[in-house]
Chains A and B, each alone.
Chain A
Amino acid sequence: MGNNELIVNNPLRALGLEDKSGGVQAMMGLVMARAGLGKTAILVQFALDCMLLGNRVLHVAIGEGVDKTRTWYDDILSLLTDGEKISSIPEIMKNRMIMTFKESSFSKALLEERLDDLVKQNIYKPECLIIDGYDFANNDRESLEGLRNFMNDRGLKMIWFSAVSHRDDKRVSLDGVPAPCHEVDSLFETVLLIKPVGDAMKLDILKCDSCKLDPGTTLMLDPSTMLIKKG
């Protein structure tokens, strides 16, 4: 199995994210779910897809350790390759850097400082940013707007966030985006929601300005692997 095969076979192709945007326009995406339903698994699939396409990914894990985050990548990659040993994997992994922060210490300013450190010293210049564990409940719209501007200023192609929704918080936006992101949904081009239905796991496309699927479409996830089911 080669890189190309991996890219083509990636279950994310089902979303057709590249079809409308043509990969030019910067975009912010959001994966939402209740706690423990597999948001990180979906984010890591996006990150791996970026990496396989030759982009550099900076994975910011808030409240999570480096080792645990690495394990996510190893596990998902092993599922994508069916456990096959692929010689290009070490090379692909050079396109990933993990940065972890404590919940209380993460801020846009700190991220900016760290990223500039990397770029100015020519150590690492990411094209995609994954922010896993961003605290939407305690950060306002302004901070998110700041991150959007940051994406544009630094020439990032995309930022993917994860957010935790709560069963008892019934607030939703017009597009159906649940709290705590219901008031900031306009800042995102794509919003996906993981929902357990019986034994199955569904991925609802609440909003997708840059994919071929229309909002309201539902994809199925394999509950054991959290990979998007093809077909």
Chain B
Amino acid sequence: MNKDLSKVRNIGISAHIDSGKTTLTERILFYTKKIHAIHEVRGKDGVGAKMDSMELEKERGITIQSAATYCSWKSVDINIIDTPGHVDFTVEVERALRVLDGAILVLCSVGGVQSQSITVNRQMTRYTVPRIAFINKCDRTGANPEKVTRQLRDKLDLNAHMMQIPIGLESDLKGMIDLITMKAVYFEDPNGETIVEREIPAEYQAEAQTKRETLLEEVSMFSEELMEALLEGGDIDTQLIYDAVRKGTLALEFTPVLMGSAYKNKGVQLLLDAVERYLPCPTDVVNMALDLKNEEKEFAVTNSPDDPLIMLAFKLEDGRYGQLTYTRTYQGKLAKGDTVFNSRTGKKTKIGRLCRMHSNEMEEIEACGSGDIVALFGVDCASGDTFTSEEISCSMTSMHIPEPVISLAVIPKDNKAQMNMSKALNRFTKEDPTFKTYVDHETGETIISGMGELHLEVYVERMKREYDAVVEVGAPQVAYRETISQKASFSYTHKKQTGGSGQFGRVGGYMEPLEEGDYEFVDSIVGGVIPREFIGSCDKGFKKSLEKGSLCGAAITGVRCVINDGAYHAVDSSDIAFQLAAIGAFKEGYLKAKPIIMEPIMKVAVEGPTEFQGSVMGSINQRRGMIIGTTEEGSYSAVEAEVPLSEMFGYSTALRSLTQGKAEFTMEFASFKPVPKGVSEQLIKAYQDERKNA
């Protein structure tokens, strides 16, 4: 049976932390009859919201993993991915956006466009995701949806327009006026499930009329028919307006703004109507895949169920029954028992079970098709893998993955913990490409690295809770880098004669700073002074040298090594001899090339009441931060700065005490910059001491 794809919506819900998106998702599930009772995020009933399935999420009141769920509203099937709000989990947001066709950008009616909304909006733009905005928490003191709509225009550069106006605000919020149908909409019964339409109250008539005219004028830019109808005057067909809004939204040239209060059960059903009306169905979006049989040439997927299968694994989870792989199907169909190919590994896999996920509950299904988001059981793969049918070989476009900036050592308490930790780390690295792990050869410690303190903290907690791996955690370490600041030459001979066959190799050339990229190897050898078979050995030797710099033991990046001279011995030269010669040559050149230590610099945004702006700026200054700018809007202000990551440990506590808990901050990696002289000396000394004591 082929599904009507125009009745499918794959949407994400993204927002700044604490904008109430999990509560909103909870209400959506309630109104679509997926759940029969409402549980608040930090509710007194102790159940927690449905979408926060991980215990940790329930405890902290934040969403960490994007739980996928499925529901139906009127005639459409909606797949929802609830995405994390904290910037440390940005890769989760990015992955969700990669597989979604449209999104709801949730904003707080008091806080408005906050730093994370800007990040999320940028991500949505990167993946050309059409969006509608939902201004939540209109029942809160200080709610101002008009201000937030203005901010959407000014700060996010969106052509945002209110589709509704609120009837009352703050504790007086009663309902909304729909500017298209020109009806007042109220939400009755204890859970707001009954929608009642009435005439617009007299005191709102004039405002509603003016706002409708402005809205129609704007929307008519997307429909000639509507423009003509407006010029002719008289009644305008509402479908004409809906079509024009949809056209503008899909072209990313218009952002419909809806509002309400999920917590007070107001406005959610109208948002669902908007999802149906304005957000794209799978066939409205062009998704590109790379043809692996044709030099990775890009081609558009067809969405047709009759074409070969193309399916992307965008998320892995370790559930009670083994690995659960969340997938999005782009074309073709898949039934229970079918065999698919993993285009990365080339392995065949038989699909045993298919499920639609509803947070951590599942509904087994027989088959899925184009546009569907479903979970597969027992499939061994990594996040980002593409599954296809046998006749084609392609991969969905790769995702942008940022480099980790922070690391810490994890030491298992006992042997059992050691085994469990290995299992957990194996799973986490498969699930999350920004989470990396390795063993430090010198100390023998297991190091985990990721995108921020909270990011790693959550994984350490998950190790304990989900894998029973009790670990001790070292102090967080900044992922420093070493690089060179000038060109330097080298000429090194490796010679060893201790009986039997000896070792001989000479490598000559120079190294210089590389502006873009980590490492480049250039072979400028002429006349065979280093035989061809040993050129690769030189490259290998240089690469080994890059693993650990001599200043502070950090990885070396931004180096171009050029070899243009050398010597060999017909008997004593070997792969290992040239590798060692290259290591010696690197060591020699490196010290002459004035190496420097680089540190990760984070883009930090602190937002809070204006009265604390002075102290916030002071706190950033104390942390070697450079203030880029400040933004002041009434009683609310934001400070944007670039601060070294090493100075940001414990900042959340400092900020809380400095601002009576009223300010919050977000940070994301910006760039690597040289550390100041004083800090560099400290790092070098610490490394030398460490080596002495080792």
**A complexed with B:** yes
Measuring CB to CB, which residues of chain A are less than 8 angstroms from any residue of chain B?
65-66, 69-70, 85, 90, 94, 97-102, 105, 110, 114, 117-118, 121-124
Distance between A44 CB and nearest chain B CB, rounded to angstroms: 14
Q: Is B392 an interface residue, CB under 8 A from the partner?
A: no
Known: A90-B673, A118-B617, A121-B617. A105 touches B633 (CB 8 A): yes
Residue from the list A69, A97, A100 in contact with B632, Cβ < 8 A: A100
Decide if A70 touches B633 in the complex (CB within 8 Å). no
- Complex CA gap A110/B611 in Å reads 12
Query: 29 A-B Cβ contacts within 8 A?
Result: A65-B154, A65-B631, A66-B628, A66-B629, A66-B640, A69-B629, A70-B628, A85-B515, A90-B673, A97-B627, A97-B628, A98-B629, A100-B629, A100-B630, A100-B632, A101-B632, A105-B633, A114-B613, A114-B630, A117-B614, A117-B617, A118-B617, A121-B618, A121-B621, A122-B621, A123-B617, A123-B618, A123-B621, A123-B627
- For the complex of A and B, 6 pairs with smallest distance between CB atoms: A98-B629, A66-B629, A117-B614, A123-B621, A121-B618, A100-B631
Residue from the list A90, A97, A99, A121 in contact with B614, Cβ < 8 A: A121
- Complex CA gap A135/B446 in Å reads 60
What B residues does A110 contact at CB under 8 A? 632
Chain B, 113-148, contact with A by CB distance < 8 Å: what is the 0/1 string?
Answer: 000000000000000000000000000000000000
Measuring CB to CB, which residues of chain B are less than 8 angstroms from any residue of chain A?
154-155, 515, 613-614, 617-618, 621, 626-634, 640, 673
- Complex CA gap A208/B384 in Å reads 63
- Residue in B closest to A102 when the chains form the complex, CB atoms: B633
Distance between B264 CB and nearest chain A CB, rounded to angstroms: 29
- Complex CA gap A124/B634 in Å reads 23
Known: A66-B640, A117-B613. A124 touches B633 (CB 8 A): no
What B residues does A100 contact at CB under 8 A? 629-632
- Complex CA gap A222/B673 in Å reads 35
What A residues does B515 contact at CB under 8 A? 85
Extra pairs beyond A97-B627, A102-B634, A117-B613 (8, CB < 8 Å): A65-B631, A69-B629, A90-B673, A98-B629, A110-B632, A114-B630, A121-B617, A123-B621
Distance between B512 CB and nearest chain A CB, rounded to angstroms: 14
Decide if B621 touches A66 in the complex (CB within 8 Å). no
- Complex CA gap A65/B153 in Å reads 11
- Residue in A closest to B156 when the chains form the complex, CB atoms: A65
Decide if A105 touches B634 in the complex (CB within 8 Å). yes
Distance between A51 CB and nearest chain B CB, rounded to angstroms: 14
Distance between B688 CB and nearest chain A CB, rounded to angstroms: 28
Decide if B627 touches A124 in the complex (CB within 8 Å). yes
- Residue in B closest to A123 when the chains form the complex, CB atoms: B621
What A residues does B613 contact at CB under 8 A? 114, 117
- Residue in A closest to B150 when the chains form the complex, CB atoms: A102
- Residue in B closest to A124 when the chains form the complex, CB atoms: B627
- Complex CA gap A49/B614 in Å reads 28
Distance between B157 CB and nearest chain A CB, rounded to angstroms: 9
What A residues does B673 contact at CB under 8 A? 90
Distance between B36 CB and nearest chain A CB, rounded to angstroms: 45
- Complex CA gap A99/B629 in Å reads 5
- Complex CA gap A66/B628 in Å reads 8
Decide if A66 touches B631 in the complex (CB within 8 Å). yes
Distance between A196 CB and nearest chain B CB, rounded to angstroms: 26
Decide if A94 touches B614 in the complex (CB within 8 Å). no
Distance between B59 CB and nearest chain A CB, rounded to angstroms: 35
Decide if A70 touches B618 in the complex (CB within 8 Å). no
What B residues does A97 contact at CB under 8 A? 627-630
Distance between A37 CB and nearest chain B CB, rounded to angstroms: 21
- Complex CA gap A90/B155 in Å reads 25
What B residues does A105 contact at CB under 8 A? 632-634
What A residues does B629 contact at CB under 8 A? 66, 69-70, 97-100
- Complex CA gap A218/B341 in Å reads 71
Distance between B613 CB and nearest chain A CB, rounded to angstroms: 7
- Residue in B closest to A90 when the chains form the complex, CB atoms: B673
Distance between A1 CB and nearest chain B CB, rounded to angstroms: 15
Decide if A94 touches B630 in the complex (CB within 8 Å). no
Decide if B633 touches A65 in the complex (CB within 8 Å). no
- Residue in B closest to A122 when the chains form the complex, CB atoms: B621
Decide if A94 touches B626 in the complex (CB within 8 Å). yes
What A residues does B617 contact at CB under 8 A? 117-118, 121, 123
Residue from the list B614, B630, B633 in contact with A98, Cβ < 8 A: B630
Distance between B623 CB and nearest chain A CB, rounded to angstroms: 12
Distance between B125 CB and nearest chain A CB, rounded to angstroms: 13
What B residues does A69 contact at CB under 8 A? 629
What B residues does A121 contact at CB under 8 A? 614, 617-618, 621
- Complex CA gap A66/B640 in Å reads 9
- Residue in B closest to A96 when the chains form the complex, CB atoms: B628
- Complex CA gap A123/B613 in Å reads 13
- Complex CA gap A122/B621 in Å reads 9
What B residues does A124 contact at CB under 8 A? 627
Distance between B461 CB and nearest chain A CB, rounded to angstroms: 35
What A residues does B627 contact at CB under 8 A? 97, 123-124
- Complex CA gap A47/B111 in Å reads 33
What B residues does A123 contact at CB under 8 A? 617-618, 621, 627
Distance between A99 CB and nearest chain B CB, rounded to angstroms: 5
- Complex CA gap A203/B633 in Å reads 34
What B residues does A114 contact at CB under 8 A? 613, 630, 632
What B residues does A65 contact at CB under 8 A? 154-155, 631
